């Protein structure tokens, strides 16, 4: 499985990529919106982890443009905690969400890996054998 992470905070990007690679995923990264969109449009990813607040192009714009051509599941990362931000993400296109419809951005990679409630509509697994 191949995953793209688009995140501008170097420590978070590095730790997410490392955690996913340790779990056996192939991971590509981008640290700004323009590069993230370029990668997302040019490669068939199984999933995309996308920060909302990015330099050059925000995550909302990336998701909006991506939905014109691809249906890749997207997990939105944000420090924002307002329900209108979660609703906006859900309205923009199919997204992976937790059962509570939000993901804690400041959680540790270990606790993120142990979260069992990742799902899409229709329900699919990110990793075969799950």
Which sequence spans correspond to the domains of the chain? 2-114
Mean pLDDT in the chain? 75
pTM summary value: 0.68
* Domain 2-114 class, CATH top level: alpha beta
Residue 112 binned pLDDT confidence (cut-offs 50, 70, 90): very low
Helix 59-66 / helix 83-92 crossing angle, nearest 10 deg: 20
Q: Does residue 79 sit in helix, strand or coil?
A: coil
Beta strand 26-30 pairing with 74-77? unpaired
In DSSP terms, which residues pair with 6 in a beta bridge?
30, 50
Give mean pLDDT, residues 103-111.
45
Cis peptide bond upstream of 122, omega within 30: yes
pLDDT greater than 80 at residue 84: no
Give mean pLDDT, residues 35-44.
97
pLDDT greater than 60 at residue 45: yes
What's phi and psi for 119, nearest 5 deg? -150, 165
């Amino acid at each position: 499985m191949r995953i793209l992470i688009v995140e501008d905070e170097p420590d978070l990007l590095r730790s997410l990529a490392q955690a996913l690679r340790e779990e056996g995923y192939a991971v590509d990264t981008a640290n700004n919106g323009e590069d993230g969109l370029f990668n997302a449009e040019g490669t068939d990813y199984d999933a995309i982890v996308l920060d909302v607040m990015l330099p050059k192009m925000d995550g909302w714009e990336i998701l909006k443009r991506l939905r014109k051509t691809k249906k890749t599941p997207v997990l939105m990362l944000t420090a924002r905690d307002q329900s209108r931000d979660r609703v906006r993400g859900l309205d923009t296109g199919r997204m992976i969400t937790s059962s509570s419809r939000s993901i804690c951005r400041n959680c540790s990679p270990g606790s993120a890996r142990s979260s069992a409630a990742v799902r899409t509509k229709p329900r699919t697994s990110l990793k075969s054998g799950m």
